[in-house]
Amino acid sequence: MVVMRDVAIAKSEFVPDQKAITKVQDFQELPELFEYCSLPQIVQYVKCFTGPNIMSMHTMLINKPPDAGKKTSRHPMHQDLHYFPFRPADRIVCAWTAMERIDRSNGCLVVLPGTHTGELKQHDYPEWEGGVNKMYHGVRDYDPSLPRVHLTMEKGDTVFFHPILIHGSGMNRTAGFRKAISCHYASSDCYYIDVKGTTQENIEKEVIELALKRYGVEEILLKDAWMAKGRLVQGERINL
């Protein structure tokens, strides 16, 4: 499990406590939270994309904090496939569930409809004055005139989306923490790819650096991190 603090808070004099937490990531070892990933109400839709052999690959409890004034609570527009060294993209799907009413005031999801039929684009850190959270890469060039849809969701509403869909989330202008839970699923029939020489090389480099700094792990590849994080939800574990 990784507990992440917002960069504006982590890099301030603020004494870290639970109020600083922006995200709990990789909760696959925590049964109470992992139960979300196998809820029949969710899995019945996930299956339509993955087929019967379902893996949870990435889990997050997102606790978007009230913005400390630097707009760091935003999540830049990105494609989740940028982080994934497995394919095919059509066998990967994210389920994202609002844990309370979420609208533009507390930083709802923003999507560019139809972009899931495009290609994976180059991602980099956006040049934001107030700082950017670690590994929050953004799509380098997308057409800013493309229509945007802000997803207003009620508590318990779930959206399912494709890993090539360009999406992000806005600033939390309220005083409360905006909570959502999500799981990225993939078919265990998916296969790992080598990202060397691709647009994903930069995220692999960061993961390798982080694995060394945090865990003292040397000589890993992006796919090794994912192999360690993946858990079977249903069916048979095949390639992943």
Contacts to ligand LS5PKE2X by CB under 6 A: 2, 4-7, 10-11, 25, 58, 80, 83, 133-136, 207, 210-211, 214-215, 217, 220, 225, 228
Q: Is 77 helix (H, G, I), strand (E, B) or coil?
A: strand
From residue 180 to residue 219, the character string flagging contacts with ligand AKG as x (rule: CB under 6 A) and all else as - is x---------------------------------------
Query: What tokens were used for 142?
Result: 């997308």
Helices (H), 39-175: 40-50
Residue 197: closest CA among 185, 205, 189: 205
Give the C-alpha separation, 50 to 114, whole Å.
Answer: 20
Between 66 and 168, CB nearer to ligand AKG: 168
CB 126 within 8 A of CB 139: no
Min. distance of Cβ 110 from ligand AKG in angstroms?
9
- Tally helices (H) and strands (E) across the chain: 5, 15
64 binds ligand AKG (CB under 6 A): yes
If contact means CB under 5 to 8 A according to the sort of partner, which of ligand LS5PKE2X, ligand AKG, none does residue 215 touch?
A: ligand LS5PKE2X
If contact means CB under 5 to 8 A according to the sort of partner, which of ligand LS5PKE2X, ligand AKG, none does residue 64 touch?
A: ligand AKG
How does 124-140 read in b/e, with b if 16+ C-beta sit within 10 Å? ebbebeebbbeebbbbe
If contact means CB under 5 to 8 A according to the sort of partner, which of ligand AKG, ligand LS5PKE2X, none does residue 180 touch?
A: ligand AKG
Give the C-alpha separation, 191 to 223, whole Å.
Answer: 10
- Listed ranges 59-67, 85-93, 115-123, 223-231: which one lies at the site for ligand AKG (CB under 6 A): 59-67
DSSP state of 177: P
Give the C-alpha separation, 166 to 118, whole Å.
Answer: 9
From residue 141 to residue 180, the character string flagging contacts with ligand AKG as x (rule: CB under 6 A) and all else as - is --------------------------xxx----------x
Between 24 and 180, CB nearer to ligand AKG: 180
75 binds ligand AKG (CB under 6 A): yes
Task: Give the residue nearest to ligand AKG (CB).
Answer: 169
The CA–CA distances, whole Å, from 3 to 18, 20, 26, 165, 188 equal: 10, 10, 9, 26, 27
The C-alpha angle 231, 75, 215, rounded to 5 degrees, equals: 45
Where along the sequence are the contacts to ligand AKG (CB under 6 A)?
Answer: 60, 62, 64, 75, 80, 167-169, 180
